[in-house]
Structure 1
Amino acid sequence: MEQEPIALIVGVTGMVGVALAEALKNPTVLGGPWQVYGVSRHPLPSWFPSSYLDKHIILDTLNKENTHKTLAPLSSCITHVFWLAISVNESEELNISYNSTMLSNVLDTLTSGSPNSKLKHVTLQTGTQQYMGPIHDLALSVQLVPHEAPFREDYPRLNFPNFYHALEDIVASYPKYFTYSIHRASIIIGASSRSYYNSLLSLSIYALICKYENYPFRYPGNKFSWEHFWDMSDARLLAEQQIWASVTNKAKNQAFNCTNGDVFTWKMLWRVLCDVFDVEFVPFDENEKFHFVNFMKDKGQVWDKIVEENGLYKTKMEEVTCFPAVDVVLKLEIQHVCSMNKSREFGFHGYANTLASIEPWVERLRQMKILPK
């Protein structure tokens, strides 16, 4: 009798971690029923449903000794690793060092007990910097020439340091132990207070502060991004694709884009945000200089008031937003769109309606008491 699959979600409290834990506990999930173990650096927040996990592990995977001590006893039962963890640093060289160390520590531990290791498959979540290069490394970003959109999985690697490349090379270096799949996300939308690149939560807090202080809710990007096509990745869709790849033989040792399958302009999405938060739509004016990061820099106390007055889950604006990253992305002058053809050709047909998904995700953040009702 085949062993019941046991998933280890590393980064379980992030947007996709929450969605993945929820999906794996669905009675009709592929490959199920699953046992679900979740790893995070800190205790579970109050908004995280305990029913999603059979076991929660507090662990800093940068610490090799602790990782081995904590995970070695589980190497005889973990069958699947879902790698969602990320360490974000000021340079891409540091990103490579930290993220490679984290992943290697976990995989070395889970395979060190071979032949008793039960690990069958590892999913690795990366993103569209695969096609653009390290856009958040200020020293490198000025030199980048991204691939042409729509981004395709068979594009060659750009000749720049990229921690995604390092992680892909690590998972591919264990052929005797397990198969793997790579999942390249666009801008992820979901519900968590524990994701570093959380554009929806950042823009929601920006909208709420504008409303509270009676500021205009201005678009912080450029005319190009306002008018040209973009795509996003719904956290539930990412979870669905990763589960599919982890139990589908044809998908083994492959890289897949994972986006909603539609496109939008920021002008369209801005109208949706205005409706959701009941703020006035302000047309983009390229002649009006607006320094988004500077504008938000001193708004932490306003957010503290909103949290206090609405009895929200305690968050600090600086810890749950990524305004500099949003600023960089919305000033890109490229069409940020991925091809989903390969994924469909391999048999994954999941999709999401981007504009229609914004309000439900905001509502989920309200139910979690991260945002006010």
Structure 2
Amino acid sequence: MEQNQNLNSSNPSVALIVGVTGMAGFSLAQALNSHHSHTWKIHGVARRPLPTWFPPSLLHNFINFDALNSTDTLAKLSPISHEVTHVFWLAFQLYDTEELNVAKNSAMLRNVLDVLTKASPSHLRHVTLQTGTKHYMGPIFDPSLAGKLVHHKPPFVEDSSRLPYPNFYYALEDLVASYSPALTFSVHRSSIIVGASSRSVYNALLSLAVYAAICKHQKLPFHYPGNEMAHFT
């Protein structure tokens, strides 16, 4: 989903990838580096140190800080705040309830955007936000709502109405939209992501690998465990 995107290609593009060591962040850093028609300067951000498997050559600079801490965020981002033109938000933290997810994830995004938009001068033009199919299914990991959720039926469509449950994806979209028209933004609701990351517990490739290993050990055929609806859910 895109809103008001009008990027000025004559200015140099400087990316801040928040969540760079995750599957999507790593792949995005690779993609920006291989962009033949456009040159990117890439700053990568993560809460923990850069893992040994991550090629540092993909980044101009790696910044390690906790976006929940506004003081830490200001201190670590201030040196580059005047040059960042694009934020790619791929970070999230999950808690026991969706109310906590809303509060914590909104605070992280707000802390980062506040530093960049208050820079003098600020060159921030666009925010790319990654969410997912929980937009259409509701807070499926909140135990207090187990068995109570009524979600949209697949296939999901971009302009489906919001569900009447707390959802930090909604909160992040609204937060980014609140900076418009000064900033443009786009929202990308990916479903299953398969990629390279030793940290992500949501990497479907790891689940498939474990399933394949079990099948091999049990001498069972490696059958696809889903059905035709899995293409949409």
Question: What TM-score, normalized by structure 1, do the two folds share?
Answer: 0.57
- Partner Cα separation in structure 1 for residue 189 and residue 146 of structure 2: 20
Equivalent position of 2:79 in the other structure: 73
Q: Which has the higher contact order (CA 8 A, sep 6+)?
A: 2
| Aligned match of 2:20 | 12
Tell me the amino acid that sits aligned with residue 3 of structure 1.
N
Residue equivalent to 1:21: 29
Cα 1:217–1:95 change in 2 (3 A) is: farther
**Alpha-carbon shift at residue 198 of structure 1 (Å):** 1.4
Q: Which 5+ residue runs of structure 2 have no aligned equivalent?
A: 1-8
* Contact 2:19/2:91 (8 A) holds in 1: yes
| Matches of 1:122 and 1:26, distance apart in 2 | 21
Give the equivalent residue in structure 2 for 1:193: 198
- 2:35, 2:193 → 1: CA distance? 25
Residues 1:113 and 1:226: Cα distance change in structure 2 (over 3 Å):
closer
- Greater helix proportion: 1
Structure 1, unaligned stretches of length 5 or more?
232-334, 337-373
Q: 1:27 to 1:203 in 2, by over 3 A?
A: closer
Asked if the contact 2:102–2:171 (Cα under 8 Å) also holds between the matched residues in 1, the reply is: yes
**TM-score under structure 2 normalisation?**
0.89
CA displacement at 1:92 relative to structure 2: 0.8
Task: Find out whether 1:118 has 2:123 as its counterpart.
Answer: yes
Tell me how far apart the structure 2 counterparts of residues 218 and 80 of structure 1 sit (CA, whole Å).
Answer: 46
Q: Does 1:43 find its partner at 2:49? A: yes
Secondary structure in 1 matching 2:230: coil
Cross-structure match for 2:138 = 133
Q: In structure 1, the residue corresponding to 2:62 is in which secondary structure?
A: strand
Q: Is the 8 A contact 1:111 1:177 kept in 2?
A: no
TM-fit CA distance, 1:54: 0.7
Q: Could you report, residue by residue, the CA deviation over 1:112-165 in whole angstroms, capped at 9, with x for unpaired residues?
A: 125x11100000000001111111112213111111221111111000010000
Classify 1:96/1:217 alpha carbon distance in 2 versus 1 (closer, same or farther; 3 Å): farther
Alignment-derived partner of residue 318 in structure 1? none
User: Which of 202, 207, 210 is the matching residue for 2:207?
Assistant: 202
What is the identity, as a one-letter code, of the residue corresponding to 1:65?
T
**Residue type of the alignment partner of 2:124:** L
> What's the CA shift for 1:218?
9.3
- The structure with the largest alpha-carbon Rg is 1
Q: What does the per-residue CA deviation read over 1:240-288, in whole Å, with 9 as the maximum and x for residues that have no partner? A: xxxxxxxxxxxxxxxxxxxxxxxxxxxxxxxxxxxxxxxxxxxxxxxxx
1:1-373 counterparts in 2 under 5 A? 2-29=10-37, 32-113=38-119, 116-208=121-213, 210=214, 214-215=217-218, 226-231=226-231, 336=233
Contact between 1:207 and 1:217, CA under 8 Å: does it hold in 2?
no
Is the 8 Å Cα contact of residues 78 and 119 (structure 1) preserved in structure 2? yes
Change (3 A) 1:49 1:133: same
Q: Which amino acid aligns with 2:27?
A: A
Q: Is this contact kept in 1: 2:137–2:150, CA < 8 A?
A: yes
Q: 2 CA distance for matches of 1:106 and 1:218? A: 48
Residue pair 1:6, 1:34 contacting (<8 A) in 2 also: yes
Q: Is the 8 A contact 1:75 1:109 kept in 2?
A: yes
Partner Cα separation in structure 2 for residue 217 and residue 147 of structure 1: 35
Question: What CA deviation, in whole Å up to 9, does each residue of 1:56-91 have, x standing for no partner?
Answer: 111111111000111122121000000000101121
Shift of 1:217: 6.4
Query: Which residue identity does 1:181 align to in structure 2?
Result: S
Q: How far off its partner does 1:202 sit? A: 3.0
